[in-house]
A and B are shown apart, each in its own frame.
Chain A
Amino acid sequence: MSKATQSEAETGVTLEIDGQEVQARDGQTILEAAKEADIDIPTLCEHANLSNVGACRMCLVEVDGERNETACTTAAQDGMEISVETDELWTHRRTMLEMMFADQNHYCMYCEMEGDCELEDMFNRAGLDSSRVPLEYPDIEPDASNEYITMDLDRCISCGRCVRTCDEIVGNGTLNFGNRGRETTIVVDDDVSLGESSCVSCGSCVQACPTGALYSPLSAYKGRERNCEVETTTCSECSVGCELDVYTNSGRIVKIEGNEDGPADGQLCEMGRFELLADGRERLVEPQVDGETVSLEDAIDRASATLAGANGVNAFASDRLPTETLEAFSEALAAYDASLEIPGAERATLESEVLSALEAELDVETADLLVDSLHDLEDSDTLVVYDTGIVESHPVVASYVRRAANGETTLVTIDDGEDRLERFADHSIELAAPAATVTEQVTDVFEGGTEALADGTVEDIVDVSLQLSGDATFVLGPAVEDAETMVDIFGLAATSDNEVLSLGPGRNSAVANVPTDDLETDADVAYLLAADDRDDDLDRSIELAREADTAIVHATRASALTEIADVVIPALDWFEREGTIVDADGEDRAIERVLDPRGEIDSDRELLADLQEVAA
């Protein structure tokens, strides 16, 4: 026996599950060992990426013929003989299921989860055809106070997946157990409705719920998950680049879920999970000139003629678009000598300049300065968040910050306004010009140790400095816009061998490589590739359209912008686009086409190439 196999044998355990010999690693539970051996032990409260609590008792197994244990919480030990499929165990499971059924109000026939419900599947497996336990008919009010998440505890089995998700994955702790014993129920904060709670509407609990107790009205009754096709793509709502599993049925999107095997443990935020589905604006399908429907060719000719005859052209593109489309747009509009603005480009460009300068100056590799994985945040001794606006702009990162703060990590937040993470911060510092002041002091600390502050400065700053003794990670929010702050923070990270997660206002970090300019003040034509932009981004397009005499709008949906446009050209929606997007870590991520476009437009890029060709 070689040394390697010997040591493997030493660390592994061998057990028997329903007569099958199974190898397990030390510390693995019986359930984990069974899963790896493709043995199906029934579960309800167990869920990917969550801790195990043995609440539902479905995974009861018989150990060595003498005692019953929950497989999800019992460590596999050498020589164990495990039984899963015995009549006695199924009788126990069925009894538990009957109590779950009788305790709440389960009406499968009109539940939106019917067909996808894990409880219903378990009823089937256990052969539940009646209830020997008297039915309770408790009077439970569904909570529909949150726009995107409905909580109907009529269907709740108190498995606690939502509670653990909210705590362990999202780090927010909005959902909790209230009361005890038979009265145990899910409570939101200190028993308020979801709508008025600290809920961040990320929907992670909806994804985790095994029954229909938590569901989204956006997806309800649109079709069963098992009848859907799934396409995985990258979210372009911020620069984190979460993986979206998009479920479609008959050419329509049923729901969006986070990829549980992906980098964010299945987490998404309100934008990626719900707002993408909730865009109810009318879809543009036909090109228009001066309010009249025209052919696509005529619309492009008109756009081209307008651009060619302009005294000056200001162009704007949504940074939700794939890199390839932004490049095509830049090239096409360069043919008309347009000035181009893309949100986030300024910060991204500045950042790349700062990083190149630092690379030269301090002999560091940019890649070493940037956080590789969101999990690195949790591994830091200290997290310093400059600008807590990330709670709204990059919610999934905010989850990791909260998770870290709930764990061993010391969280320092620095903001010039409302501290959105104050509840989680060990030190919350309000500073008008945050980084410069703090980092100056902190740099001293790194150079001279805490004695550098012996002469006494602002107490908060001392705190920050003291906490920075271990591995630190700096999170830069979108409000950080000045070179000085960036140099300070990246420089601090470089000299202290720490890392930075930079979250600019832009979504596609590739904008740093697309040539942009300051817009002209007296341009008479505006070309606005607004795509499916909404809110602030759309407002910027509207502002530019108003400033110009003629506005050419290239957009996905009808809005106040298309109303004031002279030429309207339809654009692809987020689920029809394909290409790449660069995330905050600088990685290329794939945007996959989820559904084929129904309209005339098959490619934004081809259309822009046509526009460029007409110019030539």
Chain B
Amino acid sequence: MSAQAEVDTQDDRTTVATVCLGGCSGCHMEFLNVDHGLIDLVEEVDIVASHMIVDEKGVPEADVGIAEGVVTNEENVEVAEELRENCDTVVAWGDCAALRGIMSLRNYQDRDEMLEATFAEKADDESEVPFGDDEGVPELLEDARPLDEYIDVDVYVPGCPPDAEVMKESLEALARGETPEIEGDKLQYD
């Protein structure tokens, strides 16, 4: 299979890593709606990390790093910073990452009261808020904030979710080395 190995080493496709921060995975779901177009798309891009497509838990180095979701816990901050460090171009996918989105509705409530109400009061007597040094669950931040309050963002694709076609076109533009022009009807906030 030496021919195959040769193709792999000559792969000059644009590498793309996507991560889901404090999001609902709705943007990733919508991306799957590119549907048959994904076949054409992977001619130009190599998706090296994306939790619905590729079994890769970390944030590998990539030309384009895409984040869905708001920054809402300590892990999100780490992943966002890792994305910035490992990727040349960072894209904010969806309203949460670009403009804070529906996830930031929690900002209107007291963090601790909300956790108490969500975890301790909703289940049985044994239930506890699953945070603390040894719990292994990342600590919730005081507020949920859009991506660019933590890292520099190069491209914004707002929408809840953005249209699959707009996601595809923006990736194609990035693969060509261009900055995607998302304006007019392609800009959406719902």
Contact = CB atoms under 8 A, between A and B. Distances in A.
A134 B182 contact: no
Interface residues of B, number: 29
Contact of A108 (B157, B182, B183, B189): B189
B187 A127 contact: yes
A366 interface: no
How many interface residues does chain A have, given as a range? 20 to 34
A115 to B, nearest CB: 7
B101 to A, nearest CB: 7
Nearest to B157: A129
B149 to A, nearest CB: 7
Contacts of B158: 129-130
Given A115-B190, A129-B156, A135-B146, A110 B102 contact: yes
Contact of B99 (A115, A124, A125, A130): A130
Given A130-B99, A130-B148, A135-B100, A108 B187 contact: no
Contacts, number: 61
A131 B99 contact: yes
A221 interface: no
Contact of B153 (A114, A120, A130): A130
B86 interface: no
B132 interface: no
Contacts of A135: 100, 104, 145-146
A-side binding surface: helix, strand, loop or mixed?
loop
B118 interface: no
Given A124-B184, A129-B158, A109 B101 contact: yes
Nearest to A110: B102
A371 B183 CA distance: 52
B160 A108 contact: yes
Interface string A297-310: 00000000000000
B105 interface: yes
Nearest to B156: A129
Nearest to A119: B189
Interface of B, helix, strand, loop or mixed by DSSP? mixed
Contacts of B157: 129
A124 to B, nearest CB: 5
Interface in B145-182: 145-146, 148-149, 153, 156-158, 160, 182
Interface string B89-128: 0001001001111101101100000000000000000000
A446 interface: no
B187 to A, nearest CB: 5
Contacts of B189: 106, 108-109, 114, 120, 123
A137 B107 contact: yes
Contacts of B183: 124, 127
Contact of A137 (B95, B108, B148, B160): B108
B65 to A, nearest CB: 16
Contacts of B102: 107, 109-110
Nearest to B96: A109
B190 A124 contact: no
- Residue among A125, A129, A139 with most chain B CB within 10 A: A129
A589 to B, nearest CB: 39
B139 interface: no
A107 B105 contact: yes
A457 B189 CA distance: 69
Given A130-B148, A137-B104, 14 more contacts: A108-B95, A109-B160, A115-B190, A124-B184, A127-B183, A129-B156, A130-B99, A130-B146, A131-B99, A134-B149, A135-B100, A135-B145, A135-B146, A137-B143
Interface of B: 92, 95, 98-102, 104-105, 107-108, 143, 145-146, 148-149, 153, 156-158, 160, 182-185, 187-190
Of all A-B residue pairs in the complex, the 9 with the closest CB atoms, nearest first, are A108-B189, A129-B156, A109-B160, A130-B156, A114-B190, A137-B107, A109-B190, A127-B183, A108-B190
